[in-house]
Amino acid sequence: MIYFFFLFFAPIVYLAFFSFTLKNLFVKAGKDGHNKPFLNILTWLEIIDKPKWWFLLFFVPVINYMTIYSMSFEMAYAFGVRGWFNLFKHGMLNFIFLPILDKKEKLVYVDPKLAKAKAPATKSGKTQNTKREGTNEWLDSIVYALIAATVSRALS
């Protein structure tokens, strides 16, 4: 019974929590800030430029946690969080850091489609490099694989 809770029910409760806490981030990204849990997932996927079929991954055990991690990571990146440690904590402790990010006043949303084409300017006038370095991509992949292996090993 406890496995059923952690595999199926907990991620749905988790997403319902996010539907109420991430409303301001949606508005700052130019989307409608509503409190409808499943519609918010689709809005969230739209903001981070992921395909709509990722919505189905929330109903697959173990994969749903990795999907939440990845979406939280990408959401923080879209709002200007840089550095591997900051992105790691926004991914792993997203239930703490994404609501904190939501309450920040000075956030700039960079559309993932446009981030590749044009880097936004910082306060000093210099352009900020939004392209991820190769080491960041490798680090993200390794952390993702470690989490996947740990969760699947713990549940088997």
pLDDT tens profile 4-48: 666 667 777 777 777 777 888 888 888 887 767 778 888 888 888
Kind plus residue range of the DSSP H or E element containing 25: helix 23-28
pLDDT confidence of residue 97 = 82
In tens, the pLDDT along 100-131 reads 887 887 878 877 776 555 555 555 555 555 55
d(CA 19, CA 33): 9
pTM, full prediction:
0.67
Residue ranges per domain, the chain?
2-155
pLDDT confidence of residue 130 = 52
pLDDT confidence of residue 3 = 66
Residue with tokens 């988790």: 14
Task: Decide if pLDDT at 55 tops 80.
Answer: yes
Task: Decide if pLDDT at 54 tops 80.
Answer: yes
Task: Decide if pLDDT at 137 tops 80.
Answer: no
d(CA 29, CA 117): 18
Task: Decide if pLDDT at 150 tops 60.
Answer: yes
For the chain, what percent of residues have pLDDT higher than 90? 0
139 or 22, greater pLDDT:
22
For the chain, what percent of residues have pLDDT higher than 70? 78
Q: Buried b / exposed e across 61-99, counting CB within 10 Å, b at 16+?
A: ebbbbbbbbbbbbbbbbbbbbeeeeebbbbbeebeebbb
pLDDT confidence of residue 25 = 83
